[in-house]
Amino acid sequence: MAMWWSRIGCVFFCVFVVLKMGTPLDTYAQAQLKASVFAEGFDQPVAIVQDPLLPNVQYVLQLQGLIYRIEDGVLVDIFLDLTGEVDPSQHGGLMSLAFDPNHAVNRRLYVYYTDTEGNSRVSRYLLDTGTLPRIDPLTRKDLRWGGPDGLPYIEQPHYLHNGGTIAFGADGYLYIGLGDGGPTRDPQNRAQTPHTFLGKFLRIDINVPDDDVQGYRVPPDNPFLDATPIDALPEIWSFGVRNPWKFSFDNPALGGTGALVMGDVGNSRVEEINYEPAGMGGRNYGWRVFEGTLEFLTDLPPAYTPLTAPIYDYGHGDAGGSVSGGYVYRGTKLGCEYWGRYFFGDWVRRSIESLGLEIDPETGEASVTDVIDHTETLGGTDILGAVVSMGENAEGELFILSFDGNRALLIEPENAIWITQITASTGSIVSGTGRDTLCPDEQLLQIVSNSSASTGELNLTELEIAIETDLAALSTLQVELSARINQEVGGNLQVFFQNVSSGQFESVVTFQSTTQTQLFLQADIAASNYVDQNRILHMRLRSSVSAPISDATFLTDIDHIKLTPN
């Protein structure tokens, strides 16, 4: 059976730490995260979704059919009421909400739920942009499966394993994760049957007119349209999943890869995490031949091979398990140590863990480097409750949704300092961005002078960095800076902080450098002089040289900046 697997190796995506508290990852992770209550007052919440246009607005879905609008962490309104349309029993109910990528223009959004007969529906609605925006229930359009004359739902033969997520990929297509339809052990082998949607991922193009009867088309590059390696329904994107309760895309808008990452709920022994690089459809994830990496039922062969193994699976043990897929972290507040880690939960264990991912730059495939259990750091099982799902806000920070705790939690740093803005005051940034400055890869951030100059003139290249701090009693900061001026003549690098009283930038230290010299600074500053009422301080780096230079010869490489509270 081993030949069915296609095990995929990866090369590590190198990440240098530029802003941290100065401790190793395992220690830092265990000690520095916390879960803060973001919003509460729900009844069996199952999903939290970010508004695509308003950073301070999210939506929380309840199993029974209500969608609440949340503003700045406060429940303000019912966004949609489907309580008479859904069946919330067992694995059913209201499960997912996805905004059309062109939502700002077409006002469309999509809802996934099981109806009162237990069948799965994907319904399109239009936003009513009134004083308080709501979904207009009269605009409902149920997608019809298989053509204009198809059913307005996907038949579910059993109450178990309905999946639980719809989401748009970076390609603009809608992805739908469907379970095998139950009952346990997939006795009908639906996950390996090519002419049923069950046990599959679907991929459809919803860019059709509002009055289109079917509501979607099949994308022309879906993997089974040429009947290779198997003749299957054209909407199918991939085979062999048991119950992909939650999946997400590694957000390209925040620096992610666009990969699809899912948690697939196991049968009796293991839970699994699967990773699919962007655009890599046509895979067979192996259920029911395999449960995770373990052989399960081998009496029937898989629909086709090779099978794609999960990047991670874990055993049930005494506690059992039911994985709730999460997100690859692409925020800034947790620092570089967490950039690119995949966070996920477990319903039964009431836990949150994260995986370090190595991404092969040639294939886009991922492998796991390490696993960290954050449960106790985030407050323990009593705080987390049954982790039903996670969410991502506009800045890439992560939510935890507690089903029995009836609240949304926000993962935050216990004590942290993080860069919030990087701009070139003069000159220009020739490589790297603000995101890369926080977590650069092999290419350091470089700034270049704004013009060439004649002998004796002073050329300035300045980089201004806004740094937000979340320390309650900040008195002094130790500043560590490593940089290099790449020039053929001597020059200097000055470090300034803006005085909150005068508004003027005050020089902290000046480095004198020679050709290719690595500059290193350690200095203490009185934080009260430089941290304003919004807990922001502004740091300015100025590199200069008194000699003829050109853009090609005068570069400043910023290696890392580290701030440590004293």
Q: What is the DSSP string of 466-524?
A: EEEE--TT--EEEEEEEEEEE-SS-EEEEEEEE-TTT--EEEEEEEEE-TTPEEEEEEE
Q: How many angstroms separate the CA atoms of 243 and 280, rounded?
A: 20
- Judge whether 133 and 125 are in contact, CB under 8 Å: no
pLDDT band at 495 (very low <50, low <70, confident <90, very high): confident
Contacts of 451 (CB under 8 A, 6+ apart): 459, 551
Segment 220-243 shows an average pLDDT of 97
Of 83-92, 381-390, 455-464, which has the strongest mean pLDDT?
381-390
Of 20-24, 181-185, 421-425, which has the strongest mean pLDDT?
181-185
Q: How many angstroms separate the CA atoms of 460 and 447, rounded?
A: 10
Inform me whether the pLDDT recorded for 446 exceeds 90: no
Neighbours of 13 (CB within 10 A): 16
Inform me whether the pLDDT recorded for 2 exceeds 60: no
Segment 279-295 shows an average pLDDT of 98
Segment 277-296 shows an average pLDDT of 98
Is the entire prediction scored with pTM above 0.85? no
pLDDT band at 91 (very low <50, low <70, confident <90, very high): confident
User: Facing residues of 417 across strands?
Assistant: 469
Asked, as a colleague might, if the bond just before 183 is cis with ω within 30 of 0, I would say: yes
Inform me whether the pLDDT recorded for 97 exceeds 60: yes
- CA 496 to chain centroid: 35
pLDDT band at 262 (very low <50, low <70, confident <90, very high): very high
Inform me whether the pLDDT recorded for 345 exceeds 70: yes
The confidence score (pLDDT) of residue 513 equals 55
The confidence score (pLDDT) of residue 455 equals 36
Segment 517-542 shows an average pLDDT of 71
- DSSP assigned state of 427: S
Segment 482-499 shows an average pLDDT of 68
Tokens representing residue 105 in the block: 């223009």
Question: DSSP string covering 322-347, please?
Answer: -EEEEEE---STT-GGGTTPEEEEET
| Domains of the chain from N-terminus onward | 2-413 (2.120.10.30), 417-565 (2.60.120.200)
Q: How many angstroms separate the CA atoms of 108 and 112, rounded?
A: 14
- DSSP assigned state of 377: T
Segment 76-81 shows an average pLDDT of 96
Residue among 426, 438, 454 at smallest CA distance from 556 = 426
The confidence score (pLDDT) of residue 179 equals 97
36 or 558: whose pLDDT is higher? 36
Task: State the average pLDDT for the chain.
Answer: 83
pLDDT band at 498 (very low <50, low <70, confident <90, very high): confident
- Looking from the CA of 556 toward its CB, the CA atoms found within 13 Å total 33
pLDDT band at 419 (very low <50, low <70, confident <90, very high): low
169 or 131: whose pLDDT is higher? 169
Q: How many angstroms separate the CA atoms of 530 and 151, rounded?
A: 64
Segment 486-506 shows an average pLDDT of 75
Contacts of 403 (CB under 8 A, 6+ apart): 44, 45, 46, 347, 385, 386, 387, 388
With 0-12 / 13-18 / 19 or more C-beta atoms within 10 angstroms meaning exposed / middle / buried, residue 455 is exposed
pLDDT band at 481 (very low <50, low <70, confident <90, very high): low
**To 10 degrees, the CA torsion angle through 364, 365, 367, 372?**
60
- Cα angle: 534, vertex 540, 545; to 5 degrees: 175
Residues 499-525: pLDDT tens digits? 889 988 887 767 665 444 555 556 677
The confidence score (pLDDT) of residue 550 equals 52
Segment 137-141 shows an average pLDDT of 96
For residue 536, the surrounding DSSP H or E stretch is: strand 536-546
Residues 15-64: pLDDT tens digits? 222 222 222 333 233 337 999 999 999 999 999 999 999 999 999 999 99
Q: Which residue type does 313 have?
A: D
The confidence score (pLDDT) of residue 536 equals 74
Share of the chain above pLDDT 90, in %: 62
Q: Is 43 helix (H, G, I), strand (E, B) or coil?
A: coil
Residues 297-326: pLDDT tens digits? 999 999 999 999 999 999 998 888 999 999
The 8 Å CB, 24+ separation contacts for 535-538 are 535/468, 535/469, 535/470, 536/420, 536/466, 536/467, 536/468, 536/469, 537/466, 537/467, 537/469, 537/497, 537/498, 538/464, 538/465, 538/466, 538/467, 538/497, 538/498, 538/505
Inform me whether the pLDDT recorded for 441 exceeds 60: no
Tokens representing residue 308 in the block: 């794609």
Write b or e for each residue in 117-150: b if 16 or more Cβ atoms lie within 10 A of its Cβ, otherwise e.
ebbbbbbbbbbeeeeebbbeeeebbebbbeeeee
Inform me whether the pLDDT recorded for 425 exceeds 70: no
Q: Is 530 helix (H, G, I), strand (E, B) or coil?
A: helix
Tokens representing residue 561 in the block: 């900046």
Q: How many angstroms separate the CA atoms of 216 and 210, rounded?
A: 10
pLDDT band at 456 (very low <50, low <70, confident <90, very high): very low
Segment 109-114 shows an average pLDDT of 98
384 or 497: whose pLDDT is higher? 384
The confidence score (pLDDT) of residue 422 equals 61
The confidence score (pLDDT) of residue 538 equals 77
Q: How many angstroms separate the CA atoms of 18 and 436, rounded?
A: 10
The confidence score (pLDDT) of residue 516 equals 44
Q: How many angstroms separate the CA atoms of 496 and 58, rounded?
A: 39
pLDDT band at 157 (very low <50, low <70, confident <90, very high): very high
Share of the chain above pLDDT 70, in %: 73
